A and B are shown apart, each in its own frame.
Chain A
């Protein structure tokens, strides 16, 4: 689960299918899908968005969507 990652941790996405399909599509546009390696850069306070890095680009998404992404810690 994504929530087990802390800022600075790296992970590999295993399953993204539980996420809202719009979010899924947008992540796919940005090249983030199953098998992508991500690094958590920053987690905003009070349940705010998370900032992740994948293949040299930074992306922010909401916490509630991020926790639905199945991640394997690296």
Chain B
């Protein structure tokens, strides 16, 4: 049995999904965090649950919402689980009425009863169930209260479609529904009433679907006739508005019977909002929060744990492995492969796991608490001036964790132009995989100003992105339309369990990459450095790796790092940015990151090191990101553009920094 989970944004859909399926899913709090179709298996194995993006209506505005409409039209499923926010019942019921018209069995989960009660709203769930003709189960998705009962209902009740038309749309519309139904008789398995109403509302997806099965002239004729007669008789602006008002009438009647209100209280959310979205304090508070995040990640907590881990890898772990290798009489080749290839390569990356998890924890905290939408609000003015909107800032912040989900999060941006622009610029956000490189270099060259130097990388990424946004939006991607309407969900106290799940969900990808990509890459790089034209176990300066690197090295010389070692590690960085570290550990023959830091000072000046960090920040989206850009834009041209412009910008900026720095006498 396949059950689709559907509801408005910010109704706790994803929390409910996690509670029902017990899977490690991604939980967030800003409009439309569920950007992909996700499927989970119910805890008691009664079927599969499909998590759909949050929508207000089945008539889509953005691509994200279009996912849901396409799903309804083209995929098969058995039941619908509609989750409602009890504190926003009126708005939520508009979607419910459309779902009931679809004529599939519907079950309603009434969420956030606790929030509604706090606001003085009492809801009679039994009465609501009676009026709608479908089961209604009260739940608190965040704590999991009521979920067992919900599962019982899903598993036992047969949930026949209600088969009564809740909304009467008036004589003219009802007649047109019949007329249109006759045109498509026998052509579709979906509810014809549903299709007709969606078509009249101007749903583009349904229009395309219907025009495939019936003559488009006849359908358009029905629509135009109806539009004219409704506008004349009822004095409304559009047919869609008329349909909306009819639904609203039904809902108002329903609510009068179901809801009772008593005295209102000022919610805590408003008190917090008075501070964080304050006219003047909004931006500084956001910057302060980011600064604290970096201090904790690098100086106060993360680095200490990382250093301890590094010491463990290079000390006890290496000696145990060496002892074990001696016991089994491993050949010199295997010995070198494991100690110099794998421990150096994979270990060098794993050392940064604590820092990356701390960063992911903060990003999850931002999402889960409801602050993310406020960031979009606070940043909108700045983003508008470069031709983007505040919502584009959210993919960018997520991009700090990893560019791939950041690019996918751009789906919630309604206008195609702004979405494309956001996709192109998100790779400039310094993702967690670039962080090990900075951590290594600041440790070696800027030990006294670690956090500030790393923060400067993140800020540089954002500034370059904003400047390029302005440039692209006034040259390549010109257009007037821009849309910014964002819902600010109430603050929610993040729950440790969901924070941990979401941190782990993001961070495990990094660990997995270390076990696969970096593992394979390390072996490959080590082999290239071990073998050369003269045979095996050559001096590294005569290896294949040196050969490839020295072709590119002269090109990089004006940037301050024209060595074959730097060139070779940059090539591997395309696979995954953190493999730059693995490659360097192998190339420089360092046992651990601390050793590598000591060696680096022979090859780089502080200025060259900074130039190298800037180059790594910008030079190319990694393989996974490039693939995502291609998937999301569906265009080879834009994918190539994303790679090429990044390379050009990185080269220019590093050149300016290194050569400019030399002019001013820095070394």
| In contact, A56 and B481 (Cβ under 8 angstroms) | no
| In contact, B279 and A49 (Cβ under 8 angstroms) | no
Among the listed A41, A46, A49, A57, which residue makes an inter-chain contact with B273, where contact means beta carbons less than 8 Å apart? Answer: A41
Cα separation A47 to B279 with both chains bound (whole Å): 11
Among the listed B269, B282, B380, B415, which residue makes an inter-chain contact with A62, where contact means beta carbons less than 8 Å apart? Answer: B380
Among the listed A27, A41, A46, which residue makes an inter-chain contact with B381, where contact means beta carbons less than 8 Å apart? Answer: A46
3 residue pairs, one from A and one from B, having the closest CB atoms: A29-B56, A48-B381, A58-B488
| In contact, A56 and B88 (Cβ under 8 angstroms) | yes
Taking A45-B280, A55-B91 as given, write out 15 further A-B residue pairs in contact, using a Cβ cutoff of 8 Å, ordered by the A residue number: A22-B415, A22-B481, A22-B483, A26-B483, A33-B244, A41-B273, A44-B282, A44-B378, A55-B88, A55-B90, A56-B88, A57-B487, A58-B269, A62-B380, A65-B484
- Whether A20 sits at the interface, judged by CB under 8 Å, is yes
Cα separation A22 to B64 with both chains bound (whole Å): 15
A42 surroundings in chain B (CB, below 8 A): 273-274, 277-279
Q: Could you give, for residues 1-29 of chain A, a 1 whenever the CB lies within 8 Å of some chain B CB and a 0 otherwise?
A: 00000000000000001001011011111
* CB interface residues, B 59-99, toward A, < 8 Å: 61, 87-88, 90-91, 94
* CB interface residues, B 448-490, toward A, < 8 Å: 481, 483-488, 490
| In contact, B61 and A26 (Cβ under 8 angstroms) | yes
B384 surroundings in chain A (CB, below 8 A): 62
A33 surroundings in chain B (CB, below 8 A): 244
Q: Could you give, for residues 33-67 of chain A, a 1 whenever the CB lies within 8 Å of some chain B CB and a 0 otherwise?
A: 10000000111111111010001111111100100
| In contact, B88 and A44 (Cβ under 8 angstroms) | no
Offer 26 A-B interface pairs, CB within 8 angstroms, sorted by A.
A20-B481, A23-B485, A25-B61, A26-B414, A26-B485, A30-B56, A30-B91, A30-B485, A42-B273, A42-B278, A43-B279, A44-B377, A46-B381, A48-B380, A49-B380, A51-B277, A55-B88, A55-B90, A56-B87, A57-B88, A58-B269, A59-B485, A59-B488, A60-B373, A61-B485, A62-B384
Q: Which residues of B contact A (CB under 8 A)?
A: 56-57, 61, 87-88, 90-91, 94, 119, 237, 241, 244, 269-270, 273-274, 277-280, 282, 373, 376-378, 380-381, 384, 390, 414-415, 481, 483-488, 490
Q: Given A22-B481, A28-B244, A60-B380: A44 and B279 within 8 A (CB)?
A: yes
Among the listed B241, B244, B377, B415, which residue makes an inter-chain contact with A49, where contact means beta carbons less than 8 Å apart? Answer: B377
Among the listed B237, B279, B377, which residue makes an inter-chain contact with A60, where contact means beta carbons less than 8 Å apart? Answer: B377
Task: Name, among A31, A41, A47, the residue most crowded by chain B CB atoms within 10 Å (CB to CB).
Answer: A31
Cα separation A31 to B269 with both chains bound (whole Å): 20
Q: Given A56-B88, A56-B119: A44 and B485 within 8 A (CB)?
A: no
Chain A residue at minimum C-beta to C-beta distance from B119: A56
| In contact, B381 and A31 (Cβ under 8 angstroms) | no
Among the listed A17, A58, A62, which residue makes an inter-chain contact with B237, where contact means beta carbons less than 8 Å apart? Answer: A17
| In contact, B484 and A60 (Cβ under 8 angstroms) | yes
What distance in Å separates the Cβ of B555 from its nearest Cβ neighbour in chain A?
Answer: 43
What distance in Å separates the Cβ of A18 from its nearest Cβ neighbour in chain B?
Answer: 12
A55 surroundings in chain B (CB, below 8 A): 88, 90-91
Number of A-B contacts (CB under 8 A): 99
Q: Given A22-B414, A44-B279, A44-B282: A51 and B377 within 8 A (CB)?
A: yes
| In contact, B282 and A58 (Cβ under 8 angstroms) | no
| In contact, A44 and B381 (Cβ under 8 angstroms) | yes
Cα separation A28 to B414 with both chains bound (whole Å): 15
Task: Name, among B88, B280, B415, the residue most crowded by chain A CB atoms within 10 Å (CB to CB).
Answer: B88
Q: Which residues of A contact B (CB under 8 A)?
A: 17, 20, 22-23, 25-31, 33, 41-49, 51, 55-62, 65
Chain A residue at minimum C-beta to C-beta distance from B490: A58
Cα separation A17 to B240 with both chains bound (whole Å): 13
What distance in Å separates the Cβ of A8 from its nearest Cβ neighbour in chain B?
Answer: 11
Cα separation A31 to B93 with both chains bound (whole Å): 11
| In contact, B483 and A60 (Cβ under 8 angstroms) | no
Cα separation A73 to B487 with both chains bound (whole Å): 23
Task: Name, among A20, A49, A57, the residue most crowded by chain B CB atoms within 10 Å (CB to CB).
Answer: A49
| In contact, B483 and A20 (Cβ under 8 angstroms) | yes
| In contact, A51 and B485 (Cβ under 8 angstroms) | no
Cα separation A54 to B484 with both chains bound (whole Å): 17
Cα separation A51 to B274 with both chains bound (whole Å): 11
B377 surroundings in chain A (CB, below 8 A): 44, 49, 51, 60
B380 surroundings in chain A (CB, below 8 A): 44, 48-49, 60, 62
B376 surroundings in chain A (CB, below 8 A): 60
What distance in Å separates the Cβ of B114 from its nearest Cβ neighbour in chain A?
Answer: 15
Cα separation A61 to B487 with both chains bound (whole Å): 9
B487 surroundings in chain A (CB, below 8 A): 30, 57-59
Cα separation A65 to B373 with both chains bound (whole Å): 19
What distance in Å separates the Cβ of B240 from its nearest Cβ neighbour in chain A?
Answer: 8
What distance in Å separates the Cβ of A66 from its nearest Cβ neighbour in chain B?
Answer: 10
A60 surroundings in chain B (CB, below 8 A): 373, 376-377, 380, 390, 484-486, 488
